[in-house]
Amino acid sequence: MTVPAAPDPWVVGPVTRTDFVRYQGASGDMNPIHHDEEFARAAGFPTPFSVGMWQASLLGTYATNWLGAENVRNFRIRFLEQVWPGDVLTCGGEVVREYDHEGERRVDIELTCRRQTGGKAVTAWSTFVLPGAQPDGEADGA
Amino acid sequence: MSGPNHGSNHSGDYEERLAAFVGVEVVPPKPGQDPVNVPMIRHWVEAMGDQNPIYLDAEAARATGRDGIVAPASMVQAWTMRGYAATAAGPAPVNPGRGPGMAELIALLDEGGYTSVVATDSEFEFHRELVVGDHVSAREVVESISPEKTTALGVGRFVTTMRTYTDAGGEVVAVQRWRTLRFRPKPKTEPQPEAAQEPEPKAPRPRPAINRDNEFWFAAARDHRLVIQRCASCQVLRHPPGPCCAHCGSFDWDTVEASGRGHVYSFVVNHHPRHPAFEYPLIVAVVELAEGTRLITNLVGVTPEEVEIGMPVVLDWLDADPDLSLPVFRLREGSN
């Protein structure tokens, strides 16, 4: 069985302070640097900036929509550039590797959340199992 | 140098105090405020734009073979966040009967000047889906604290912790390696509305290639003296500096100090490529000194349209940074 095709890139934004605050309310992360203008400036930033876990979790949404929420095994995130109010984010992904592991067929994917500048805000790597796919006996690529 | 000097905090003693936190459980296992519940999931999936019905609709979840609604995997951390009231109340108090915890680690980092924080990495391993009613606890252990690193945001230290999420029965539901950069914020560079401040160069001026034959010239420049190399045998002046007289071949030389007067021998205006150390338009000129030697320099205080070949100029000094001063030239007033 082949891995389902990756969904079209998902465009989010222009993102707003309200998006950040909504995520903060949902996550319980009330760090004021993401919504308090004066606090952010005092910390050396020009404005509040997004919560890294928000844009990272947007990639999570993209990935679980693609390969199934029940199939995710891990999710590794690298925060690269900060996301600022007004940014337009584009989430996409691709298959890196398909292999057998402990009797399961697995797929490793790489996900990227890019800013409108082309800069990467977040790169993530995730492993999913492919349900219903029998291990085909191929050697684990590792 | 200006600003507070935190150097004394980087003594061996400070390093040891930081190192003492490695391996320490800085957050003991603590149940989240609420068990996994649909209202919190609803807020989360709305923020995420996630429309998968298994998170809100029990029927839809059962249709996938699940027992009921499940929580998004990425939400595991949210079940253990302490929420706004606790955040507003300030750092968590010291745990009675326990060693130093997260509040003490953050205080120690603050003491070192690392008062700002950004997340750099998160590595989740999910062991099972969370279902409504699960009561998640998290504990956090410090895995490593890096030596001081220079980053784009400022100097800081990477602090890596391992968070373990467990259910009410103590079974691990997920683990998370969490890395943040705790850093010393750079001085503010935001534009001031008054426009009173000097524009700060975005990057240091490129370093000259200094060697034994030309170091005297740059050393004199740091003292704001423009010197010209002179052959000790035939007295011919030369620039740029070199080991040997092109006129007589002698290796003996001394210097004379230039008058600082000259004229524009030729010039170009540099538009592209732009280097962040320079102001544009950048006038690069060959100035012929009154003594007869020529040097490549910049013209300042004049627009490209105003520059003419033959224009009289006078020496000024550019103090690019504490280690680099360079001669520049401006229009010589009253000479026309």
Q: Do B116 and A75 touch (CB under 8 A)?
A: no
pLDDT tens digits for range A55-110: 999 999 999 999 999 899 999 998 888 999 999 999 999 999 999 888 889 999 99
- Taking CA atoms, what residue in A is nearest to B191? A46
Say if residue B177 is in the same domain as residue B86: yes
Q: d(Cα B69, Cα B44) in Å, to the nearest integer? A: 14
Say if residue B312 is in the same domain as residue B175: no
Please, are residues A123 and A58 in contact by the beta-carbon 8 Å criterion?
Answer: no
Does residue B26 sit within a domain? yes
Rounded to a whole number, what is the distance in Å from the CA of B20 to chain A's nearest CA? Answer: 27
**Pairing label, strands B294-298, B261-270:** unpaired
Say if residue B28 is in the same domain as residue B127: yes
pLDDT > 90 fraction of chain A, expressed in percent and rounded:
57
Whether A133 has a pLDDT exceeding 90, the answer reads no
Whether B202 has a pLDDT exceeding 80, the answer reads no
For residue A54, the chain B residues in CB contact (below 8 A) are: 47
Whether B125 has a pLDDT exceeding 60, the answer reads yes
Q: Do A58 and B48 touch (CB under 8 A)?
A: yes
Residues with Cβ within 8 Å of residue B36, at least 6 apart in sequence: B71, B79, B130, B131, B132, B133, B134, B135, B136
Please give the tally of structural domains in chain B: 2
Say if residue B25 is in the same domain as residue B142: yes
pLDDT at B90 (0 to 100): 63
pLDDT at B178 (0 to 100): 93
Structure ipTM: 0.75
Say if residue B226 is in the same domain as residue B173: no
pLDDT > 70 fraction of chain A, expressed in percent and rounded:
92
> Strand order of the sheet with strand B237-238?
B237-238, B227-231, B253-257
- Taking CA atoms, what residue in A is nearest to B175? A74
pLDDT at B206 (0 to 100): 87
Q: Is B37 on the interface with A (CB under 8 A)?
A: no
Domain A10-129, architecture per CATH? Roll (3.10)
Q: Do B126 and A28 touch (CB under 8 A)?
A: no
A136-140, B17-21, B109-113, B156-160, range with the lowest pLDDT: A136-140
List the CATH number of the domain containing B126. 3.10.129.10
Q: Do A56 and B84 touch (CB under 8 A)?
A: no
Say if residue B96 is in the same domain as residue B234: no
pLDDT at B91 (0 to 100): 58
The answer, as to whether pTM is greater than 0.95, is no
Say if residue B92 is in the same domain as residue B179: yes
For residue B124, the chain A residues in CB contact (below 8 A) are: 74-77
Does residue B290 sit within a domain? yes
For residue A79, the chain B residues in CB contact (below 8 A) are: 118-122
A109-123, B96-110, B164-178, B218-232, range with the lowest pLDDT: B96-110
Say if residue B25 is in the same domain as residue B133: yes
Does residue B144 sit within a domain? yes
Q: Do A58 and B49 touch (CB under 8 A)?
A: yes
Q: Do B81 and A52 touch (CB under 8 A)?
A: no
Say if residue B292 is in the same domain as residue B221: yes
Say if residue B248 is in the same domain as residue B313: yes
Residues with Cβ within 8 Å of residue A134, at least 6 apart in sequence: A105
Rounded to a whole number, what is the distance in Å from the CA of A44 to chain B's nearest CA? Answer: 6
pLDDT at A28 (0 to 100): 84
pLDDT at B10 (0 to 100): 55
pLDDT at B315 (0 to 100): 94
Mean predicted confidence (pLDDT) in B125-140: 93
- Among B286, B289, B291, B314, smallest CA distance to B237 is for B291
Say if residue B85 is in the same domain as residue B167: yes
Q: Do A41 and B190 touch (CB under 8 A)?
A: yes
Whether B278 has a pLDDT exceeding 80, the answer reads yes
Q: Is B40 on the interface with A (CB under 8 A)?
A: yes
Does residue B50 sit within a domain? no
Domain boundaries, chain A: 10-129
Rounded to a whole number, what is the distance in Å from the CA of A138 to chain B's nearest CA? Answer: 25
Compare CB distances from B125 to A12, A23, A74 and report the shortest one's residue. Answer: A74
Domain that holds residue B224: 215-331
Say if residue B235 is in the same domain as residue B292: yes
Does residue B15 sit within a domain? yes
